[in-house]
């Protein structure tokens, strides 16, 4: 795509798929975006932002009115902006920035690849493959987490290094890189510094420009980084213990590295990491089959931009490869890079492996189209509202690309992109409502909101500590419209408080309610009140 010498009838398949990709992207990303319950990490990000708004303090971050040091504040400021602009503090407004960062990420991918290679088709396809990579499309694109913004920023760092080096703008190369790293640090902390150091070092060593590591721009950039990051922490340290602040920040990143895990767990992770990540980023991770034979890989990747992407992967991914406690969302910045390399290798491969790959994925495309009617018979979906027209639409949106793929081999990737976007639409329409109806998280959300409304105009505290359920904390505090703090024992007379089920309660305490909660063995806690003494 595009192929100018094709007959106009054949070109219609091409235009149809492009139109469907454009038409499906926003609905797929936005339908029912705010309906399902937060996971706990979402609850943390949004609760910290909510408490910023309630306290009016945007520097000294808190959670349950206790100091929160694990992450810098930039993404919380993003969420505050989203809550303020939308006028609501809820799941939809917390997840909307993720969608916007993803779309910005895709635009960045497209224009960067087109600028570097002059190939518009490649730029479009790689952006589309990134969007429909399994982990992104069916998980990280609908969660209100830092990782999409952080990954886009780190990918921007890679691009900055490449383009500024090509133009030999050395001051801009270093100062801009440190500025981007400062933004990334204020999003997620120490990983930004690791990316910066490994990327610049690997890049300059590969180009035999190691002396530039001591360029004046390097030191100017470091000073700018210290001014931005250090300026925030200078304000943050007011009334805080520096050892606690920076120790927590370091531990938050270091706990996932080999230093915090046994050798057995590390070795197991090293062995399973490639297979686990291949699974999470299906189907396009299958393009990496074209990496083989490895010995000729560098030769087959002729373009300097493609080679640069391979270099950045090689420089940075080993940190994750040897760190056992790694989630796939930490690797999103690598998805367009792997997609670019896989696409180049696929389009330049010999005919036989391409035919085998086509046969495999064309079979998948046909199976998807044949299975598209199943919402009509599945017990979980057959009684949902408007199931018939929705299913008929899904059938059409999967059959059309399947036919296109069977008629033209060169439409394989775009045809599957359309089908994957259609599957996300099916996920939005059928899977999310089923989750809402059957997920324990829905009960947790309803319980927390019920208790929050009950104690909306009355003091309520967590006694001694808040149990490990940030989702509950968020829903409880936002339903109350105020921060729910932690208070020490013993409770004051007349005080309402939340404790674990098996807490030894003081004499005379009245249990007024219970509340379901995640990550606690008995699954709920007690709402109690200390009577007022006569």
* pLDDT higher at 43 or 465: 43
Average pLDDT over residues 76-94: 98
pLDDT confidence tier of residue 6, bands split at 50, 70 and 90: very low
- pLDDT at site 529: 85
Helices (H), 237-334: 242-254, 263-280, 297-300, 304-321
Nearest to 103 by CA among 152, 63, 54, 168: 152
Joined tokens for residue 329: 């969302």
Q: Which residues pair with 496 in a beta bridge?
A: 460, 529
Q: What percent of the chain has pLDDT over 70?
A: 96
- What is the Cα–Cα distance from 233 to 226, expressed in whole angstroms? 10
Extract the tokens encoding 115. Answer: 């600028």
User: Which stretches within 31-119 are classed as H helix?
Assistant: 40-55, 74-86, 91-117
The pTM of this model reads: 0.94
pLDDT band at 364 (very low <50, low <70, confident <90, very high): very high
Query: For 500-529, what is the mean pLDDT?
Result: 81
- Tens-digit pLDDT profile for residues 489-508: 888 888 899 988 877 888 88
Q: What is the mean pLDDT of residues 28-35?
A: 96
Cα end-to-end span (Å), the chain: 83
pLDDT of residue 502: 78
* Contacts with 502 (C-beta within 8 Å, 6 or more apart), sequence order: 522
Residue 259: the pLDDT is 64
- The strand pairing partners of 487, in sequence order, are 463
pLDDT at 451 over 80: yes
Q: Give the long-range contacts of residues 352-356, CB within 8 A, separation 24 or more.
A: 353/289, 353/290
Average pLDDT over residues 509-517: 89
Rounded to a whole number of angstroms, the CA Rg of the chain reads 26
Position 528 confidence tier, pLDDT thresholds 50, 70, 90: confident
Distance CA(120)–CA(334), nearest Å, equals: 20
Q: 353-382: b or e for each residue (b if 16 or more CB lie within 10 Å)?
A: ebeebbeebbebbbebbeebeebeeeeebe
Q: Indicate whether 195 pLDDT > 60.
A: yes
Mean pLDDT, the chain, as a whole number? 93
Helices and strands (H and E) in the chain: how many: 21, 7
**183, 146 contact by CB (below 8 A):** no
pLDDT at residue 440 is higher than 90: no
Residue 233 to residue 242: CA distance in whole angstroms = 9
Mean pLDDT of 15-20: 96
pLDDT at 533: 64
Greater confidence, 205 or 516?
205
Q: What's the pLDDT band for 347 if we cut at 50, 70, 90?
A: very high
Q: Is the pLDDT of residue 258 over 90?
A: no
Range with the lowest mean pLDDT among 46-60, 216-230, 292-306?
292-306
pLDDT of residue 2: 46
Phi and psi (nearest 5°) for 148? -65, -45
Cα–Cα distance, 368 to 366 (Å, whole number): 5
Confidence of residue 261 (pLDDT cuts 50, 70, 90): low
Query: What strands, in cross-sheet order, belong to the sheet with 496-500?
Result: 486-487, 460-463, 496-500, 524-529, 510-516
Q: 384 and 430 in contact (C-beta within 8 Å)?
A: yes
ω into residue 410 within 30 of 0, thus cis? Answer: no
Cα dihedral 168→174→177→178 (10° resolution):
-170
User: Which has the higher per-residue pLDDT, 501 or 446?
Assistant: 446
Measuring CA to CA, how many Å separate 101 from each of 75, 114, 360? 12, 20, 33
Give me the pLDDT at residue 520, please: 61
So where are the chain's domains?
A: 69-348, 351-438, 443-529
How many other C-beta atoms are found inside a 10 Å radius of the C-beta of residue 62? 17
Bridge-based pairing of strands 510-516 and 524-529 is antiparallel
Residue 151 CA to residue 200 CA, distance in Å, equals 17
Confidence of residue 410 (pLDDT cuts 50, 70, 90): very high
């Amino acid at each position: 795509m595009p192929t100018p010498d094709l007959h106009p009838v054949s070109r219609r398949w091409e235009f149809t798929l492009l139109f469907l990709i454009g038409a499906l992207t926003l609905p797929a990303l936005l339908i029912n975006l705010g309906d399902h319950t937060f996971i706990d990490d979402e609850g943390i990000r949004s609760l910290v932002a909510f408490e910023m708004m309630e306290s009016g303090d945007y520097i000294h971050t808190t959670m349950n009115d206790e100091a929160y040091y694990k992450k810098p504040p930039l993404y919380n400021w993003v969420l505050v902006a989203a809550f303020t602009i939308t006028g609501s503090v809820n799941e939809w407004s917390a997840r909307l920035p993720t969608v916007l960062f993803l779309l910005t990420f895709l635009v960045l991918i497209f224009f960067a690849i087109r600028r570097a290679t002059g190939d518009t088709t490649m730029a479009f396809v790689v952006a589309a493959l990134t969007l429909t990579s399994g982990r992104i499309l069916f998980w990280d694109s609908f969660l209100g987490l830092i990782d999409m913004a952080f990954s886009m920023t780190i990918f921007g760092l890679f691009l900055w290094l490449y383009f500024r080096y090509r133009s030999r703008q050395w001051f801009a190369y270093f100062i801009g890189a440190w500025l981007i790293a400062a933004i990334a640090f204020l999003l997620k902390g120490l990983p930004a510094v690791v990316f910066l150091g490994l990327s610049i070092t690997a890049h300059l060593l590969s180009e035999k420009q190691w002396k530039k590591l001591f360029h004046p721009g390097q030191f100017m950039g470091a000073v700018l980084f210290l001014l931005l990051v250090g300026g925030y922490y200078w304000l943050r340290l007011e009334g805080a213990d520096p050892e606690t602040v920076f120790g927590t920040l370091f531990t938050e990143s270091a706990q996932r590295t080999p230093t915090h895990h046994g050798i057995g767990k590390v070795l197991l992770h090293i062995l399973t990491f490639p297979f686990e990540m291949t699974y999470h980023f299906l189907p396009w991770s299958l393009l990496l089959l074209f990496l083989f034979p490895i010995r000729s890989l560098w030769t087959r990747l002729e373009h300097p931009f493609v080679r640069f992407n391979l270099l950045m992967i090689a420089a940075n991914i080993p940190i994750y490869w040897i760190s056992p406690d790694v989630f796939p969302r930490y690797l999103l910045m690598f998805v367009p890079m792997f997609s670019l390399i896989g696409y180049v290798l696929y389009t330049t491969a010999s005919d036989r492996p391409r035919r085998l790959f086509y046969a495999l994925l064309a079979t998948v495309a046909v199976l998807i189209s044949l299975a598209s009617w199943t919402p009509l018979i599945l017990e979980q979906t057959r009684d949902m509202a408007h199931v018939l027209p929705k299913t008929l639409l899904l059938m059409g949106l999967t059959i059309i690309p399947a036919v296109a793929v069977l008629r033209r081999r060169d439409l394989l990737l775009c045809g599957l992109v359309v089908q994957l976007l259609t599957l996300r639409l099916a996920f939005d329409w059928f899977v999310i409502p089923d989750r809402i109806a059957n997920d324990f998280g829905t009960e947790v959300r309803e319980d927390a909101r019920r208790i929050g409304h009950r104690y909306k105009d009355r003091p309520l505290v967590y006694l001694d500590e808040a149990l490990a359920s940030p989702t509950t904390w968020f829903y409880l505090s936002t339903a109350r419209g105020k921060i729910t703090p932690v208070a020490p024992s013993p409770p004051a007379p007349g005080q309402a408080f939340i404790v674990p089920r098996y807490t030894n309660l003081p004499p005379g305490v009245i249990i007024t309610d219970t509340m379901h909660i995640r990550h606690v063995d008995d699954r709920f806690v007690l709402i109690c009140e200390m009577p007022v003494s006569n």
